[in-house]
């Protein structure tokens, strides 16, 4: 149990931008994940992803990691920024690009 939380911690801290989603960026399997990953693609910087449908341990435990009950989840520099609605709102107002550009530069 502790191991999986450590594994999540390494993933979110080891990647400037990390998304936990249902499906893959090429083949999202949920409309919310699809829209969220599309926003990340539009920002244009590299990001890592984890398909939670292919990793039962992460699927079960990710909600406990940052006390966030739903998927997808987007992390920038180890911090949860939110799920679909927050990511899209930040994309539309320009904050997402700003945040990701800064995170990718450091």
Binding stretches for another protein (CB under 8 A): 22-23, 28-35, 53, 56, 59, 67-70, 80-86, 88-90
CB of 99 to another protein, least distance (A): 12
Residue located via tokens 């090429």: 26
Length of the chain: 106
Rounded Cα gap, residues 90 and 10, in angstroms = 25
Shortest Å, Cβ 103 to another protein: 16
**Residue with Cβ nearer another protein (46 or 89):** 89
Q: How far is CA 4 from the centre of its chain?
A: 16
Residue 37: Cβ-neighbour burial (10 angstroms; 0-12, 13-18, 19+): buried
CA–CA gap between residue 30 and residue 106 (Å, rounded)? 32
H or E segment to which residue 73 belongs: strand 73-76
Nearest to another protein of 48, 53 (CB atom): 53
Pick 29 or 42: Cβ nearer another protein? 29
**Smallest gap from residue 5 Cβ to another protein (A):** 18
Q: For residues 46 and 50, which CB has a smaller minimum distance to another protein in the complex?
A: 50
State in angstroms the smallest separation of the CB of 30 from another protein. 4
């Amino acid at each position: 149990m502790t191991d999986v939380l450590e594994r999540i911690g390494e993933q979110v801290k080891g990647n400037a931008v990390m998304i936990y989603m249902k499906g893959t960026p090429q083949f999202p399997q949920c409309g919310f994940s699809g829209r969220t990953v599309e926003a990340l693609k539009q920002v244009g910087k590299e990001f890592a992803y984890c398909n939670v449908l292919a990793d039962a341990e992460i699927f079960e435990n990710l909600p406990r990691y940052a006390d966030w009950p739903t998927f997808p989840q987007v992390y920038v520099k180890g911090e949860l920024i939110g799920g679909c609605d927050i990511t899209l709102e930040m994309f539309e107002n320009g904050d997402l690009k700003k945040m990701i550009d800064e995170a990718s530069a450091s």
